[in-house]
Amino acid sequence: MSGHTYFITGANRGIGFEITKYYSNLSKDNKIVATARDPSKAAELKELAAKNGNIEIIPLAIDNDESVAAIDSELTKIGVDGIDIYVANAAISDSYYTVLDCPKDVWLNHYTVNSLAPILVLQKLHKYLLKKQTRKIAFISSGIGSLTRFLPTPISAYGQSKAALNFSVIELSHELKPEGFNVVAITPGVVATGMGTYGREKILKASPEIADIIDSITITPEQSGTNVAKLIDNLKSEDNGKFFSYDGTEYPY
């Protein structure tokens, strides 16, 4: 198979790491640009890169303007002039407050990282994506951001930030369609990552009655990342603008 070049944010842990691992193992012809806020601390990612030889790790703090501005120079250093697929995975989730109790800085942090930063990174990557014909963009969203499948638990800023991201996905799917892009949102499921486990504890403290439901649908990072990666690779033009679950089923906005 011919290889693709992937740009994956937040690739040093959790779902992002598993997506990176899947694409790296899938074909030696694939090239993965894996970003991490601090590559020096990304031990597992560096080990995988050394083993497989098709992963380039670059520093990127998606909420830092200077770091985002440096994407061009970082890609030049590793000889990447075209990107097939952008996977916007990096995010934060630490807003376990009611709407009335959530502090302003928590709202702003979640909007900055989860809603705005993936778009600002895309603004830098657009010209690289245009150099390839694949032109796929996958925003890792969350079922929490669904307005029609609302989960009644205090998660305020995180839920709003993902709903806002979903809006941008829909808008981008129309704006970029003439250029042949396929833009989707994907909920990775309820995943037992470090962030997910922390979130589970917070949610169940506020809503203990949903413990059985949460536990019954929780999956491993490998299950989530592998399924998300396969889903992205198999996207067709008619999928543009859709919101998917990690298992390939369509999810309601």
**How far is it, in rounded angstroms, from Cα 139 to Cα 125?**
14
22 in active site: no
Residue whose C-alpha is closest to residue 37's, from 57, 22, 54, 14: 57
Catalytic-labelled residue, pool 21, 31, 136, 162: 162
- The sheet that has 31-36: what strands, in order across it? 55-59, 31-36, 5-8, 85-88, 136-140, 182-187, 243-245
Which one is catalytic: 6, 22, 96, 158? 158
**Residue 146 CB contacts under 8 Å (≥ 6 apart), including other chains:** 163, 166, 187, 243, 251, 252, 253
In the residue annotation, 158 being an active-site residue is answered as yes
Q: Cβ distance 11 to 48 under 8 Å?
A: no
Q: Determine the Cα angle at 192 with ends 240 and 94, to 5°.
A: 80
Rg of the chain in Å (alpha carbons): 17
Q: Is the dihedral of CA 71, 72, 77, 82 positive or negative?
A: positive
CA-CA distance, 66 to 162, in Å (whole number)? 24
Geometric angle at alpha carbon 168, from 93 and 242, rounded to 5°? 95
Residues tagged active-site:
158, 162
